[in-house]
């Protein structure tokens, strides 16, 4: 054991002094820890997030609030899309969210599932703060939210199993509608199975709810799926409405691109300012012999160098990431114009894609009467509009007016 300001001796007295010094150091550390926790808890109670900034945010010093979370692009937009996609069903599970973040080259490395879990369960993305170990209950914060509290609660319900997803791990292409269609009497998802008869096995859909009057009353698979295919064949978007919808979407997309260009220019200007400050401090170091000032300048240069690297990565990413929205839009509209073609593919993933993109809710089926009214997804409801006035289309579709 060595100490910079004391020489320990291998004597009883030396061991006693060593114990006293160690105990004093431990006391100081614990007192300092208590003081830090008290100050952090006080900040939390006032609505300020005071831990390491979650991905999508940076801790920035504000003249009014002190250190506060600020959106950090493009991470904030990526996290927002991932959270809303998981809540809406675009991403069925945490693995899908991970694949999405990896496709965006999130922070230039693979995103682990434990990080995905932390992102999905972090209430800070809703402009709220809490910390249960310190007894700080949830309260409204001062930073800008990425998602609404309603979206966050949907995410938690999905993670806790309160919201069930009709996609099954053991689904097979023999019963693509299993778990999607509902029993018209009890509104629970219908299951499917093979029934053995005199002439072999036969496929049936049926309800298995214990209290339902239609429990185990079988419905032939061909009868159900033929009628469902008839619903898909009846979806025929109007060409004029389709063209107008594409025009509105492209207009909104171009406005978003303009916003991105403004953000990129802002990052480029910040990068130039940071580099200028680094040159200024380097010049000051060369002109001073004061060791205290030199160390201060070196700390500032190190801090600015880190900021420079972050800004360089942001600018590089925003210069290289320019998706071909027109091509993606054409592919999406090709699918929505004739979803029946995708349903005919001998691929369970394609059939599940049809169910997710064409219908906003499950459809009830009643034995002997068939399917009830199918509620289509928003794009297909737009295509069915009879009024072709631009402003009317925009209002009814829910898009931002031009």
Examine residue 186 and state whether it is found in any structural domain, yes or no.
no
Q: What is the DSSP string of 9-27?
A: -SSHHHHHHHHHHHHHHHH
Rounded Cα distance between 220 and 202, Å, is 8
Same domain, 149 and 71: yes
Domain count, the chain: 3
Quick one: the chain helix, strand, coil %, rounded to 5? 55, 15, 30
Query: pLDDT tens digit string along 103-123?
Result: 877 666 777 888 889 999 999
Q: In which residue are the tokens 């509608």 written?
A: 177
pLDDT band at 323 (very low <50, low <70, confident <90, very high): low
Residues 68 and 22 in one domain: no
* CA distances for 145 relative to 33, 68, 126, 203, 254, angstroms: 30, 12, 5, 50, 24
Query: If you count them, how many residues does the chain have?
Result: 402
| DSSP symbol at 125 | G
Specify the 3-state DSSP secondary structure of 7: coil
Average pLDDT of the residues of the chain: 81
Q: Are residues 149 and 101 in the same domain?
A: yes
pLDDT band of 382, cuts 50, 70, 90: low
Average pLDDT of the segment spanning 197-216: 84
How far, in Å, are 138, 179, 220, 381 from residue 194 at the CA level? 51, 16, 10, 36
Within-domain flag for 200: no
Is 196 contained in some domain? no
| Same-domain status, 77 and 148 | yes
The pLDDT value given to residue 322: 63
Do 30 and 68 fall into the same domain?
no
pLDDT one-digit tens code per residue, 39-76: 988 888 888 888 888 988 988 888 888 888 888 888 88
pLDDT, tens only, 256-309: 878 777 888 888 888 899 899 988 888 888 888 888 888 888 888 888 887 887
Which DSSP helix (H) or strand (E) runs through 205?
Answer: strand 200-206
Question: Across residues 203-209, what is the average pLDDT?
Answer: 87
Say what the pLDDT of residue 125 is.
92
Given 159, 174, 208, which residue is the final one in a domain? 159
Peptide bond preceding 74 in cis form (omega within 30 of 0): yes
Burial 108-118 (b: 16+ CB within 10 A, else e): eeebeeeebee
Position 231 in a domain: no
pLDDT of 255 reads 83
pLDDT confidence tier of residue 400, bands split at 50, 70 and 90? very low
Rounded (5°) CA angle 122-127-133: 50
Residue 151 falls inside a structural domain: yes
> In this structure, is residue 266 part of a structural domain?
yes
Q: Is the same domain home to 37 and 73? A: no
- For 334, phi and psi rounded to 5 degrees? -60, -40
pLDDT digits (tens, 9 = 90+) for 14-35: 788 888 888 988 999 999 989 9
Provide, rounded to the nearest whole percent, the portion of the chain with pLDDT above 90. 3
Is pLDDT of 383 > 70? no
Is 383 contained in some domain?
A: no
- 85 and 5 share one domain: no
Q: Specify whether 7 is located in the same domain as 61.
A: no
Given 295, 322, 349, the domain boundary residue is 322
State the average pLDDT over residues 372-389.
67
Domain's final residue, options 140, 159, 178: 159
Query: Cα–Cα distance between 351 and 178 in angstroms, integer?
Result: 12
The conformational region for residue 189 under phi > 0 = left, psi -120 to 50 = alpha, else beta, is beta
Q: Are residues 64 and 113 in the same domain?
A: yes
Q: Where are the beta strands (DSSP E) in 217-303?
A: 219-220
Residues 64 and 131 in one domain: yes
Q: Which domain holds residue 104?
A: 57-159
Does residue 301 lie within any of the structural domains?
Answer: yes
102 and 27 part of one domain? no
Q: Where are the alpha helices (DSSP H) in 213-347?
A: 221-233, 239-287, 291-320, 325-337, 339-343
- Of 39, 36, 75, 45, the closest CA to residue 57 belongs to 75
Query: Based on the domain organization, do 64 and 125 belong to the same domain?
Result: yes
Q: What is the pLDDT of residues 339-352, one digit of tens each?
A: 888 888 877 777 88
Q: What is the pLDDT of residues 123-179, one digit of tens each?
A: 999 888 888 888 888 888 888 889 888 888 889 888 887 665 544 444 456 888 888
């Amino acid at each position: 054991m060595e100490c910079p300001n004391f020489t320990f001796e291998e004597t009883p007295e030396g061991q006693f002094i060593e114990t006293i010094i160690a105990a004093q150091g431990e006391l100081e550390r614990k007192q300092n820890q208590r003081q830090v926790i008290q100050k952090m808890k006080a900040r939390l109670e006032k609505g300020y997030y005071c831990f390491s900034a979650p991905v999508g945010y940076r801790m920035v010093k504000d003249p009014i609030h002190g250190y506060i979370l600020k959106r950090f692009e493009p991470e904030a937009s990526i996290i927002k899309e991932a959270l809303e996609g998981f809540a809406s069903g675009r991403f069925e599970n945490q693995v899908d969210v991970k694949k999405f973040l990896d496709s965006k080259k999130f922070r230039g490395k693979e995103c682990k599932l434990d990080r995905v879990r932390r992102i999905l369960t972090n209430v800070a993305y809703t402009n709220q703060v809490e910390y249960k170990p310190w007894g700080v209950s949830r309260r409204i914060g001062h930073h800008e939210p990425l998602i609404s509290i309603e979206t966050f609660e949907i995410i938690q319900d999905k993670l806790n199993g309160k919201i069930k997803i009709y996609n099954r791990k053991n689904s097979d292409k023999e019963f693509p509608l299993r778990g999607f269609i509902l029993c018209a009497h009890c509104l629970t998802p219908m299951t499917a199975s093979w029934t053995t008869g005199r002439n072999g096995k036969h496929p049936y859909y049926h309800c298995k709810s214990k209290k339902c009057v239609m429990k185990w009353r079988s419905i032939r698979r061909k009868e159900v799926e033929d009628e469902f295919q008839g619903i898909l064949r009846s979806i025929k978007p109007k060409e004029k409405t389709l063209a107008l919808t594409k025009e509105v979407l492209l207009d909104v997309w171009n406005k978003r691109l303009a916003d991105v260009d403004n953000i990129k220019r802002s990052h480029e200007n910040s990068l130039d300012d940071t580099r200028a400050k680094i040159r200024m401090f380097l010049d000051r170091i060369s002109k001073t012999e004061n060791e205290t000032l030199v160390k201060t300048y070196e700390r500032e240069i190190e801090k600015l160098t880190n900021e420079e690297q972050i800004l360089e990565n942001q600018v590089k990413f925003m210069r290289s990431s320019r998706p071909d929205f027109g091509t993606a839009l054409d592919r999406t509209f090709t699918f929505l114009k004739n979803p029946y073609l995708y349903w005919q593919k001998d691929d369970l993933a394609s059939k599940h894609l049809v169910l997710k993109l064409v219908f906003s809710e499950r459809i009830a089926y009643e034995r002997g009467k068939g399917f009830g009214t199918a509620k289509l997804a928003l794009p297909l409801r737009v295509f069915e509009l009879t009024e072709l006035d631009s402003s009317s289309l925009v209002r009814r579709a829910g898009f931002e007016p031009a």
